Structure 1
Amino acid sequence: MGTYRYRVQTSGFGLFLGIAAEATRLTNPPTMNVPVSNRVWLDASEVNNAFHGNRLALNEREVAWLRVGLDKVSGDIERIETSPYILISVRALEIFEVDYAEEALAPAIAGWATREFTLTPRLCNVSRDSDTGQFTFDWNE
């Protein structure tokens, strides 16, 4: 299991999110998890708060952001992995409430996967609308 820490610090905002996850190679499709692509699946059912040790119950939006991030790198994972199925299990999150936005889950898990599978890094620029507070992630696609 590896941990990746996603950090962005600008003059207008900061984001920080640590994510610990593991990859399991499977011969059969997972039964209780979320498909991201044909061969990459996501498990976010048992996620701990890395700072407090208690269980985190991720909401649907948070799981959707994890899925978005894995989707950005799933094709790269499938190209290098020979296993029929790859299950990515998120085990813990490091969340600083002041610098947390659920949207940061996408680039955090993509960064974790890039390191875990030794993928070519994907540039993801983030900006924040100062009026609405909404974050935009540009994946340069």
Structure 2
Amino acid sequence: MTVEIERARPDDAGEVLTVQRAAFLSEAQRYSDPHLPMLTETLAEITAVIDTVLVARDPRGRLVAAGRGRLDEHGTCHIARLAVVPDLRGLGLGWRMLLAVEAAHAGAARRYELFTGAESHDNIRLYERNGYAIFARRPLDRGPGLVHLAKPAVG
């Protein structure tokens, strides 16, 4: 599928929230985990960080994926909220979004880190194929927990 990946605009916040909710609800249903913490993000929270969000649009301009990265003072790029609309899963769009978020911080990042659900086997395989290794597993009060993955930046 041909998509354009670009920085989100302030008026994209509502669509970003919709894509995230659709993607994470689909994953929660797939793995029978109704406690994904990503579902608690609000429109105001997305709006506050919209300048860190990358989005992918299909040829008709529909927002079909989103993701973001935040660089901390130690040179670690924290990747979060990678989301692909459910009907486009498995087409390589998640992989392209991951690479785009990494590239947006290339040169400044010394390390990349991200979290996924402990039962998100497809996500874990995607990240491992892209050089990430499991750094730690974190239990949650509810649900199966999170997996913390990391990889060093190349360059």
Q: TM-score range by the shorter chain?
A: under 0.3
Which structure has the highest strand share of the two? Answer: 1
Which structure has the highest helix share of the two? Answer: 2
Q: Which fold has the larger relative contact order, with Cα–Cα distance below 8 Å and residues 6 or more apart in sequence?
A: 1
TM-score normalized with structure 1 length: 0.27
TM-score normalized with structure 2 length: 0.26
